[in-house]
Amino acid sequence: MNDDYKISFIRGATTASGNSINEIKNAVVELIDELITRNNLNKMNILSITFTTTRDLDACFPASVARKFSGLDSVAFLDCQQMYVSNDLDFCIRIMAQVLLPKNNPIKHPYLRGAAKLRTDRC
């Protein structure tokens, strides 16, 4: 690893508009696009992404969508179910991405759609 880079972790979340493959796909693609754009990431510098979903999302695995995303074929993906908490957001997809960022690059955590209210300090 180049000394100009550091391993960083980026959190983020979004909500799907429903529990269908297409609705989950749209939310995942938008979230990954924002992760890359906001942090000016080179796709080769994304090491892994862990997805969690609320229990109302079961039409497909977010990682299966991400694996098909252009340029992310060497990224390690993992899907997990988010711990159930009453009054949690519906159709919520959360991520934790492990990436290589330039040492002076500020981290920008993407919180989109209904998930923006989870971390208003990061939106």
**What confidence tens digit (pLDDT) does each residue in 7-51 have?**
999 999 999 999 999 999 999 999 999 999 999 999 999 999 999
Q: What is the pLDDT of residue 1?
A: 60
Whether 77 shows a pLDDT value over 70: the answer reads yes
Q: The tokens of 64 are what?
A: 């299966």
CA proximity to 46, closest of 66, 75, 4, 67: 75
Query: Structural domains in the chain?
Result: 5-117 (3.30.1330.40)
Residue 108's pLDDT band (boundaries 50, 70, 90)? very high
Q: Is 30 helix (H, G, I), strand (E, B) or coil?
A: helix
Phi, psi (degrees; rounded to nearest 5) at 63: -60, -35
- Bridge partners (DSSP) of residue 7 are 100
Q: How far is the C-alpha of 86 from the C-alpha of 102, rounded, in Å?
A: 39
Query: Token pair 């080769």 is at which residue?
Result: 44
Average pLDDT over residues 78-101: 96
pTM of the model: 0.93
